């Protein structure tokens, strides 16, 4: 099998699975229990928090474990809206956010909020100025993702953070950085008030993520009131095995981060070189340094993307037709680009990981060429 869908989820290294197994079978204490087994587990949870915080470059005491990126996005938006409930009921986001952000915004619209959805250019980019121009005196929160999960486009979160005080000093800034974790993400330098991440994009287990909440957020609204876990902000017994796996994955990625980023950039460049001159093919999301190295979005204009995915899947090559969270539905991200129908209907995504090889990319390109040459266009 050739796995080129790391943006959907990443394989779990043996070291991560072993760390989880130890907690499940040997160190199974409840961190809230008062005897030594529980107290020891509480100390370990805090150590794991520090490991994830090191990868994110943020203070561990401002990092809170969640169940996933979707939970973190929802918590951040609702906490920001609550803190700024006296500022106003206006939200600024983009038309290409993950569904976790967009669906939460739709629910907030039902609660009386007005949402401005900033449109991208055809290459997927969004200038910081366009986002800042949408900010008003009654804007409670701005939410702009760090890396687009379908296009790989990096968005100017840091310039937005720098420019936001001049537009409205009370407006809070959230970024979904799920696709940026493991890259050169620094929550300290980014300047966002909320930063969402998820473990399973870097080889950690599914079912655990984290939300960084900056000091500017005063008394954040709890996501789940209850037993006082996560400093009283997200109650519920900690998922210790998942957190252990998250921490081990973070440690492994931090140890090799520079090497891995160079490897991913080389893979993307190799893929682009192999695809050069490919008939009916368009590269989406740009080819510049403003694109994350692990994601490559393409369109085989005239050939339906799901047919391509099915054909390559039958050959043991795993690629996607967009976000796994769409579950086969049309992509709102691609729709926001306003591309010709033949182009938009043929969009596929290749995404790479530390284990991906150039030989695997070559095999994928060959399979794409066979699909193009042996099947008639349908659009």
**3-class SS at 112?**
coil
> How far, in Å, are 92, 153, 208, 329 from residue 122 at the CA level?
20, 12, 34, 21
Residue 224, class by beta-carbon neighbours within 10 Å (0-12 exposed, 13-18 middle, 19+ buried)? middle
Rounded distance between C-alpha atoms, residue 107 and residue 85, angstroms: 16
**3-class SS at 212?**
strand
Where does the chain show beta strands of DSSP type E? 2-3, 63-66, 90-94, 114-118, 139-143, 172-176, 194-198, 209-213, 281-284, 295-300, 317-318, 347-351
Where does 207-254 show beta strands of DSSP type E? 209-213
Active site residues: 325
> How far, in Å, are 74, 77, 192, 219, 361 from residue 84 at the CA level?
16, 11, 16, 12, 48
Residue with tokens 């366009």: 130
Cα-Cα end-to-end distance for the chain: 29
């Amino acid at each position: 099998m050739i796995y080129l869908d790391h943006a959907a989820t990443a394989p779990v290294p043996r070291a991560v699975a072993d760390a989880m197994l130890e907690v499940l079978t040997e160190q199974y204490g409840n961190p809230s229990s008062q005897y030594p087994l529980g107290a020891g587990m509480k100390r370990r949870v805090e150590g794991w928090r520090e490991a994830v915080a090191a990868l994110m470059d943020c203070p561990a005491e401002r990092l809170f474990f969640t169940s996933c990126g979707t939970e973190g996005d929802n918590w951040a938006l609702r906490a920001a809206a609550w803190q700024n409930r006296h500022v106003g009921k206006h939200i600024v986001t983009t038309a290409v956010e993950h569904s976790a952000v967009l669906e939460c915004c739709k629910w907030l619209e039902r609660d009386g909020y007005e949402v401005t959805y900033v449109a991208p250019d055809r290459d997927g980019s969004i200038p910081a100025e366009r986002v800042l121009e949408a900010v008003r005196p009654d804007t409670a929160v701005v939410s702009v993702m760090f890396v687009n999960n379908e296009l790989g486009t990096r968005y100017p979160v840091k310039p937005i953070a720098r420019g936001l005080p001049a537009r409205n000093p009370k407006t809070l800034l959230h970024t979904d950085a799920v696709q940026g974790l493991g890259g050169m993400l620094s929550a300290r330098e980014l300047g966002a008030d909320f930063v969402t991440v998820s473990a399973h994009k870097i080889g950690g287990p599914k079912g655990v993520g984290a939300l960084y909440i900056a000091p500017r957020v005063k008394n954040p609204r709890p996501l789940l009131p209850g037993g006082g876990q996560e400093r009283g902000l997200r109650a519920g017994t900690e998922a210790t095995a998942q957190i252990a796996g998250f921490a081990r994955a973070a440690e492994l990625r931090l140890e090799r981060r520079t090497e891995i980023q160079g490897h991913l950039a080389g893979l993307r460049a190799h893929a682009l070189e192999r695809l050069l001159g490919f008939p009916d093919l368009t590269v989406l999301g740009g080819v510049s340094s403003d694109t994350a190295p692990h994601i490559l979005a393409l369109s085989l204009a005239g050939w339906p993307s799901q047919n391509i995915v099915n054909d390559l899947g039958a050959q043991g090559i795993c690629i996607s037709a967009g976000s796994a969270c769409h579950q086969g539905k049309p992509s709102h991200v691609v729709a926001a680009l306003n591309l010709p129908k033949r182009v938009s209907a043929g969009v596929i995504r290749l995404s790479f990981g530390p284990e991906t090889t150039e030989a695997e990319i070559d095999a994928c390109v060959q399979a794409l060429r066979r699909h193009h040459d042996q099947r008639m266009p349908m659009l």
